[in-house]
């Protein structure tokens, strides 16, 4: 049976860690908290250690991606032309480049290791090829989230991130206003984030 004193002793011993917002947020989730309590009761159990580690890694990965998507959405709420220049200069790989200068690729690789903690890059999956977005999404949760977007939302993301088109160019393709395309784009990113974090 679980003893409250065990939890108290553990939290006191690692009180600095428990002050961290990321830890507090992790433990607010009832499922994560249960895994944590299981570990407290059985600290020598390899199974419980692995479960806690796995749960935290999943949570941390989603938190980082969520924060990145928040920043991306914020980018698109400021000024389109300024945003587009920043995104193309900082985040996009050169689709038709010679491959001699790999600085963009190295930057994206470093960025993604920080965000995802993985070798594969979500950004690279989304924008490094001229084929459809779906064929480049290897993260199962992100793939499922992408499928929940409307066909038009999917296509607009593909035109912007894979083909490198501007909102104006996409609006001309759809015979729609740039403002409406921008709104659809932002809604698609928000929905993608929500669906991904809920999975």
Using the predicted structure, report yes or no on whether residue 149 has a pLDDT greater than 90.
Answer: yes
Between 66 and 114, the higher pLDDT residue: 66
- Residue 70 lies inside a defined structural domain of this protein: no
- Residue 108 lies inside a defined structural domain of this protein: yes
Between 146 and 65, the higher pLDDT residue: 146
Q: pLDDT at position 185, please?
A: 93
Q: pLDDT at position 38, please?
A: 87
Do 51 and 82 belong together in one domain?
A: no
DSSP states of the chain? ---HHHHHHHHHHTHHHHTSHHHHHHHHSHHHHHHHHHHHH-TT-HHHHHHHHHHHHHHHHHHHHHHHHHHHHHHTTT-HHHHHHHHHHHT---TT--SS--HHHHHHHHHHHHHHSSSS-HHHHHHSSSS-SGGG---HHHHHHHHTS-HHHHHHHHHHHTS---HHHHHHHHT--HHHHHHHHHHHHHHHHHHHHH-
In tens, the pLDDT along 122-146 reads 433 333 434 567 776 777 888 888 8
- Residue 68 lies inside a defined structural domain of this protein: no
Between 6 and 42, the higher pLDDT residue: 42
- Look at the chain and report how many structural domains it folds into: 2
Do 186 and 130 belong together in one domain?
A: yes
Do 145 and 191 belong together in one domain?
A: yes
Using the predicted structure, report yes or no on whether residue 180 has a pLDDT greater than 90.
Answer: yes
Q: pLDDT at position 148, please?
A: 92
Q: Which domain holds residue 11?
A: 1-62
- Residue 67 lies inside a defined structural domain of this protein: no
Percent of the chain at pLDDT > 90 equals 12
pTM equals 0.40
Given 62, 85, 109, which residue is the final one in a domain?
Answer: 62
Do 25 and 113 belong together in one domain?
A: no
């Amino acid at each position: 049976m679980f003893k409250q004193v065990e939890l108290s002793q553990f939290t006191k011993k690692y009180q600095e860690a428990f002050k961290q917002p990321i830890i507090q947020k992790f433990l607010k989730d009832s499922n994560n908290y249960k895994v944590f309590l299981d570990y407290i009761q059985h600290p020598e159990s390899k199974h419980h250690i692995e479960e806690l580690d796995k749960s935290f890694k999943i949570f941390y990965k989603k938190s980082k991606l969520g924060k990145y998507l928040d920043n991306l959405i914020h980018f698109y709420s400021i000024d389109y032309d300024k945003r587009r220049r920043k995104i193309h200069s900082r985040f996009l790989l050169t689709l038709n480049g010679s491959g001699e200068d790999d600085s963009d690729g190295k930057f994206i690789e470093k960025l993604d290791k920080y965000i995802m903690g993985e070798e594969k890059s979500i950004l690279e999956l989304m924008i490094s090829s001229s084929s459809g977005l779906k064929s480049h999404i290897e993260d199962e949760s992100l793939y499922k989230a992408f499928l929940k977007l409307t066909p038009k939302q999917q296509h607009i993301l593909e035109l912007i991130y894979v083909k490198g088109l501007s909102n104006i160019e996409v609006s001309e393709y759809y015979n729609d206003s740039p403002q409406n395309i921008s709104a659809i784009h932002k809604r698609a990113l928000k929905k993608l984030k929500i669906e991904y974090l809920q999975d």
